Chain A
Amino acid sequence: MSDAAIEVESLGRTFKVRGGQVVALKNVDMRVGRGEIVGLLGSNGAGKTTLTKILATLLLPSSGTARIFGHDVTADPREVRRMIGVVLGGDRGLYSKLNGRDNLRFFAMLAGVGRRGLAERLDAALDRVGLTEVADRAVETYSKGMRQRLHLAIGMINEPPVMLLDEPTVGLDPVEAERLRRDIAGLRDGGTSVLLTSHYLLDIERLADRVVILADGEAAADVDVAEFAKLAGYTAIVTVRGMGRPPEFESGQSQFTVDDLSESGGLWTLRLRVRDWSVESFGSLGSALGGVDILGVDVSPLRLEDVYSHVAAQLAANGPSKAGEVHP
Chain B
Amino acid sequence: MSDQRIAAPSSPDAGVRESLTPGDRVRSAAWTFLTAARTEQRAMQGNPLVLINGGFLPIALLVISVETRRPTSGRAAEIVVSVMLTALWACTIWTSGGVLRRERTYGTLASCVCGVASPTVILFGKSFGATLYGVGMTLATTLGTVLVLRLPVAVAQPFWIAVGLVIVVVSATTLGALMSCLFLLTRNGLIWSGALMYPVFVLGGLLLPPDVLPVWLRWAPQLLSLHWINEFLSGAIGGGLSFTPLSVAVLLTIVYGVLAWFTYRWSIDKARQRGTLDYA
Contact = CB atoms under 8 A, between A and B. Distances in A.
A112 B2 CA distance: 25
B244 interface: no
B28 interface: yes
Interface stretch (A100-108, A218-226, A280-288): A100-108
B45 A110 contact: no
Given A53-B277, A93-B107, A110 B6 contact: no
Q: How many of chain A's residues touch chain B, expressed as a range?
A: 35 or more
Given A81-B114, A109-B31, A161-B9, A58 B1 contact: no
B108 A189 contact: no
B274 to A, nearest CB: 8
B42 A93 contact: no
B272 A90 contact: no
Interface in B228-280: 272-273, 275, 277-280
B116 A192 contact: no
Given A95-B42, A96-B106, A110-B115, A192 B280 contact: no
B4 A83 contact: no
A187 B6 CA distance: 6
Q: How many of chain B's residues touch chain A, expressed as a range?
A: 35 or more
A277 interface: no
Interface in A32-72: 50, 53, 56-60, 68-70
Given A105-B35, A130-B1, A95 B115 contact: no
Interface stretch (B10-18, B160-168, B212-220): B10-18
A159 interface: yes
B8 A102 contact: no
A111 interface: yes
A5 B11 CA distance: 11
Given A94-B108, A110-B112, A191-B9, A127 B117 contact: no
Contacts of B10: 82-83, 158-161
Interface string A102-126: 1001110111101100000000100
Contact of B6 (A5, A81, A83, A183): A183
B2 A130 contact: yes
Contact of B9 (A1, A13, A192): A192
B280 A59 contact: no
B148 interface: no
Nearest to A16: B274
A326 interface: no
Contact of A161 (B1, B11, B122): B11
A178 B42 CA distance: 33
Contact of A59 (B9, B31, B44, B277): B277
B103 to A, nearest CB: 10
Contacts of B106: 92-96
Given A98-B42, A105-B35, A159 B7 contact: yes
B32 interface: yes
Given A69-B12, A127-B4, A128-B2, 7 more contacts: A57-B272, A81-B116, A95-B42, A106-B35, A110-B112, A158-B116, A162-B12
Interface of A: 1, 5, 13, 15, 50, 53, 56-60, 68-70, 77-79, 81-83, 86, 88, 90, 92-98, 102, 105-107, 109-112, 114-115, 124, 127-130, 156, 158-162, 166, 179, 183, 186-187, 189-192
Q: 9 shortest A-B CB distances, which residue pairs?
A: A92-B107, A112-B116, A110-B115, A130-B1, A69-B12, A92-B280, A161-B9, A186-B6, A190-B6
Interface of B: 1-2, 4-13, 15, 17, 28, 31-32, 35-36, 39, 42-46, 106-108, 110-112, 114-117, 122, 272-273, 275, 277-280
23 contacts: A58-B110, A58-B272, A58-B277, A58-B279, A59-B275, A69-B12, A69-B13, A70-B15, A78-B116, A83-B10, A88-B280, A92-B108, A93-B280, A94-B107, A105-B35, A109-B31, A110-B112, A111-B116, A124-B4, A128-B6, A159-B8, A186-B5, A191-B9
